[in-house]
């Protein structure tokens, strides 16, 4: 781990921060203060500055009124940062060790070097020494890291200057009822709630920051029994632990402070990040989102000689791809998304060229299978996306790709005449309807009337409550059929109904769910169902903006405003500079969409569908209404 030389300035973090803040507040005059005066006033100054910076974007926790005192928390952060820079804590008997934070039941200190977690310290005593104890444990953990331990002694003394600090102060413990660990996990807001297990005076906890760091918010049912083991108890069902050992479970919220780089001022985070403001969302912001997604897909290309195309879902918490290779369907989705993005009017030629080039590479390597690689057409879903990608005019070598493209077209054409659709999933059939509509206008493709009848069967087969899962594919298929002259009056009504449903389930502005604002609650549960799946309906909602049959000119401004909310959520999911402080390998993660705001995994399919949503939004927002 390289350790940079100390900065030329002799200012401590206290002095440097306060000079900047007071310099701004004083009309450019930098007020020089003694260290004594800085320690006395910096907390109030920083609290005011941080409050102004996060006003309107970082909501207060529901537990905040009786939770940790924000001013004391900021003061504690500045104190611990100084200890970290000096890489030592004061002796327990030293009055400087006393750092009281009213309302805090515990504290966790996390220390990172360029996103990699090196040390963690937790103390749950709630007294004035808890911050010092937690900081000491975190620094000891850093020294135990093999990379740090192998540094020369003089370099180890400077390690603290390269670390970023995160402090989480826990609020009151709230009892969790439930007969099973699954019952308990269902009551926890993912990535926001911590969980604690108590037996007598012993307490074991998982802070929300730990849950996010380990990326286990969706897997807490399996993780909770380990708290019993940490208490020295046997692995057993929750009722047995409760009855035999008096175990009790609790949830709690935290006040989280962190910094993006060593020496930077602390910022409050919500579910581990800062919030994207609605006033940031315009066509240029979506262009940045689309370009970042393209970068991320290109970064995920297989980097060796084998024609493997794309690697699989990237897991930043582990810094690895699982599975190692993306499925043929996901690779085809990326080809289609890149090709459609390249066709957006007004896209810079260089941007369009690199998107087409990446699409060409992936499609060519998808067609050129090698021994041991799964066949590219195991199912109708993959065949459908390959058909769609092939009709975007991507430049490929026919000798390599024609067998694959012909096989995919035959697979799609064959499903049109099937009377029984029960063997195909809803999403697969939605893909197939769009591909069939594309094929109906191609030489040798299926009859357009047969395609229209097939699309109708898909609508009829899908219960109204499940029809949102047909988007965006069936919407684009209907657009093609209408342009071909078919009467789709009933289906236009069906699509309007789907838009009405989406308007009803879009997450409204609310401090308790501020990071989810604009996403769609597509499943059950208040938060767990608001995920990157929101990109699927978002892609077709963008198309609707430019279609007068759905959006008359007078209705466009209001619909644009609501769509801006949805795109805000997708931007919130993207890994940008604001998140890199907690990412082990920024180069791999940058630009990609996370599965959810509490799930940092980056599924390949989410990148493709997110790029489709961004492309369609750009297509409409850069066009005169």
Q: State pLDDT tens for residues 178-206.
A: 899 999 999 999 999 999 999 999 999 99
Distance CA 313, CA 320 (A): 8
Query: Which pLDDT value is given to residue 527?
Result: 63
Q: What band does 424 get if pLDDT is binned at 50, 70 and 90?
A: confident
Of 24-38, 139-153, 453-467, 603-617, minimum mean pLDDT range: 24-38
Q: What band does 614 get if pLDDT is binned at 50, 70 and 90?
A: very high
Distance CA 161, CA 111 (A): 11
- The model carries a pTM of 0.86
pLDDT at 494 over 60: yes
By C-alpha distance, which of 251, 206, 212 is closest to 228? Answer: 206
pLDDT at 250 over 60: yes
Q: What band does 22 get if pLDDT is binned at 50, 70 and 90?
A: very low
The arithmetic mean of pLDDT across residues 165-185, rounded, is 95
Query: Which pLDDT value is given to residue 29?
Result: 30
Per the CB < 8 A criterion, the answer to whether 303 and 364 are in contact is no
The arithmetic mean of pLDDT across residues 444-454, rounded, is 90
- Residues whose CB is less than 8 angstroms from the CB of residue 392 and which lie 6 or more positions away in sequence, other chains included: 336, 339, 340, 342, 343, 359
Distance CA 181, CA 239 (A): 9
What tokens does 397 get? Answer: 């070598």
Q: Taking the CB of residue 225, how many other CB atoms lie within 10 A of it?
A: 18
Question: Coil, helix or strand for 414?
Answer: helix
Q: What band does 41 get if pLDDT is binned at 50, 70 and 90?
A: very low
State the residue for tokens 């800062």: 274
Phi, psi of 314 (to 5 degrees): -90, 135
Domains located in the chain, CATH noted: 62-268 (no CATH), 278-621 (1.50.10.10)
The arithmetic mean of pLDDT across residues 12-37, rounded, is 34
Buried b (16+ CB within 10 A) or exposed e, 482-498: beeebebeebeebbeeb
Per the CB < 8 A criterion, the answer to whether 365 and 312 are in contact is no
Phi-psi region of 191 (alpha: psi -120 to 50; beta: other; left: phi over 0): left
Buried b (16+ CB within 10 A) or exposed e, 312-322: bbbbbbeeebe
Question: Coil, helix or strand for 98?
Answer: coil
Distance CA 281, CA 288 (A): 10
Distance CA 267, CA 272 (A): 11
Alpha carbons within 13 angstroms on the beta-carbon side of residue 259 total 23
Per the CB < 8 A criterion, the answer to whether 619 and 344 are in contact is yes
What percent of the chain has a predicted confidence (pLDDT) above 90?
A: 75
Query: Which pLDDT value is given to residue 211?
Result: 96
| 267-268 sheet: strands from edge to edge | 116-123, 106-113, 164-170, 254-258, 267-268
Q: What band does 149 get if pLDDT is binned at 50, 70 and 90?
A: confident
Distance CA 231, CA 247 (A): 10
Residue 258 bridge partners (DSSP): 166, 267
Distance CA 610, CA 601 (A): 14
Q: pLDDT tens for residues 363-382?
A: 999 998 777 677 788 789 99
Q: pLDDT tens for residues 328-365?
A: 999 999 999 999 999 999 999 999 999 999 999 999 99
pLDDT at 69 over 90: yes
| 174-175 sheet: strands from edge to edge | 174-175, 248-252, 194-199, 202-206
Specify the DSSP element, H or E, that contains 292: helix 283-299
Residues written for the chain: 625
pLDDT at 97 over 90: yes
Q: What band does 526 get if pLDDT is binned at 50, 70 and 90?
A: low
Q: Taking the CB of residue 278, how many other CB atoms lie within 10 A of it?
A: 16
Per the CB < 8 A criterion, the answer to whether 273 and 601 are in contact is no
Per the CB < 8 A criterion, the answer to whether 136 and 89 are in contact is yes
Query: Which pLDDT value is given to residue 377?
Result: 81
By C-alpha distance, which of 165, 125, 167 is closest to 142? Answer: 165
- Residues whose CB is less than 8 angstroms from the CB of residue 324 and which lie 6 or more positions away in sequence, other chains included: 311, 312
What tokens does 378 get? Answer: 């195991």
Exposed/middle/buried for 582, CB within 10 Å: 0-12, 13-18, 19+?
Answer: buried
- Of the two residues 196 and 51, the one the predictor is more confident about is 196
Distance CA 585, CA 400 (A): 35
Q: What band does 156 get if pLDDT is binned at 50, 70 and 90?
A: confident
Q: How far is CA 356 from the centre of its chain?
A: 26
């Amino acid at each position: 781990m390289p350790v940079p030389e100390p900065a030329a300035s002799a200012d401590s973090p206290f002095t440097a921060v306060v000079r900047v803040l007071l310099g701004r507040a004083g009309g450019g005059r930098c007020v020089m203060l003694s260290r004594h005066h800085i320690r006395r006033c910096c907390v109030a100054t920083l609290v005011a500055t941080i409050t102004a910076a996060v006003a309107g974007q970082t909501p207060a926790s529901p537990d905040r009124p009786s939770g940790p005192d924000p001013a004391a928390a900021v003061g504690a952060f500045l104190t611990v940062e100084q200890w970290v820079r000096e890489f030592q804590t004061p002796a327990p008997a030293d009055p400087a060790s006393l750092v009281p934070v009213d309302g805090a039941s515990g504290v966790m200190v996390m220390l990172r070097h360029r996103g990699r977690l090196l040390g963690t310290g937790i103390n749950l005593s709630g007294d004035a020494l808890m911050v010092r104890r937690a900081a000491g444990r975190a620094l000891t953990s850093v020294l135990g890291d093999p990379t740090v331990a192998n540094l020369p002694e003089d370099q180890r003394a400077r390690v603290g200057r390269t670390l970023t600090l995160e402090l989480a102060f826990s609020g009151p413990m709230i009892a969790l009822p439930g007969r099973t660990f699954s019952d308990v996990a269902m009551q926890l807001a993912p990535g926001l709630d911590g969980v604690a297990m108590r037996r007598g005076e012993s307490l074991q906890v998982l802070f929300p920051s730990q849950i996010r760091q380990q990326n286990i918010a969706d897997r807490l049912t399996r993780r909770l029994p380990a708290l019993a083991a940490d208490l020295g108890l046997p692995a057993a069902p929750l009722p047995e632990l409760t009855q035999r050992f008096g175990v009790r479970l609790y949830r709690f919220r935290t006040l989280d402070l962190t910094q993006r780089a060593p020496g930077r001022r602390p910022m409050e985070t919500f579910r581990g990040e800062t919030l994207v403001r609605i006033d940031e969302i315009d066509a240029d912001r979506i262009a940045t989102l689309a370009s970042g997604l393209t970068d991320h897909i290109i970064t995920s290309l297989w980097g060796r000689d084998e024609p493997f195309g794309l690697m699989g879902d990237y897991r930043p918490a582990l810094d690895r791809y699982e599975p190692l290779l993306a499925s043929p369907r996901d690779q085809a989705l990326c080809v289609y998304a890149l090709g459609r993005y390249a066709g957006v009017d007004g896209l810079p030629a260089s941007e369009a060229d690199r998107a087409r080039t990446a699409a060409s590479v992936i499609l060519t390597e998808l067609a050129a299978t090698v021994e041991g690689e799964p066949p590219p057409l195991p199912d109708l879903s993959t065949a459908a996306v390959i058909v769609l990608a092939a009709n975007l005019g991507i430049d490929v070598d026919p000798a390599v790709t024609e067998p694959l493209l012909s096989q995919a077209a035959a697979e799609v054409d064959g499903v049109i005449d099937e009377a029984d659709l029960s063997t195909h999933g809803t999403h697969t059939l939605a893909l197939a309807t769009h591909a069939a509509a594309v094929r109906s206008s191609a030489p040798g493709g299926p009859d357009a009337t047969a395609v229209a009848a097939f699309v109708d069967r898909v609508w009829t087969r899908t219960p109204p409550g499940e029809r949102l899962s047909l988007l965006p594919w069936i919407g684009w298929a209907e657009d093609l059929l209408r342009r071909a002259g078919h009467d789709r009056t009933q289906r236009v009504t069906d699509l309007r109904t789907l838009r009405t449903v989406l308007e009803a389930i879009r997450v409204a502005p609310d401090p308790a769910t501020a990071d989810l604002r604009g996403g769609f609650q597509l499943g059950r549960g208040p938060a767990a169902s608001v995920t990157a799946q929101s990109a699927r309906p978002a892609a077709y909602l963008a198309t609707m903006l430019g279609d007068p049959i759905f959006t008359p000119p007078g209705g466009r401004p209001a619909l644009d405003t609501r769509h801006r909310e949805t795109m805000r959520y997708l931007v919130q999911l993207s890994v940008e500079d604001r998140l890199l402080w907690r990412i082990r390998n920024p180069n791999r993660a940058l630009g990609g969409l996370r599965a959810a705001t509490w799930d940092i995994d980056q599924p390949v399919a989410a990148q493709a569908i997110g790029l489709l949503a961004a492309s369609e939004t750009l297509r409409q927002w850069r066009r005169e209404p």
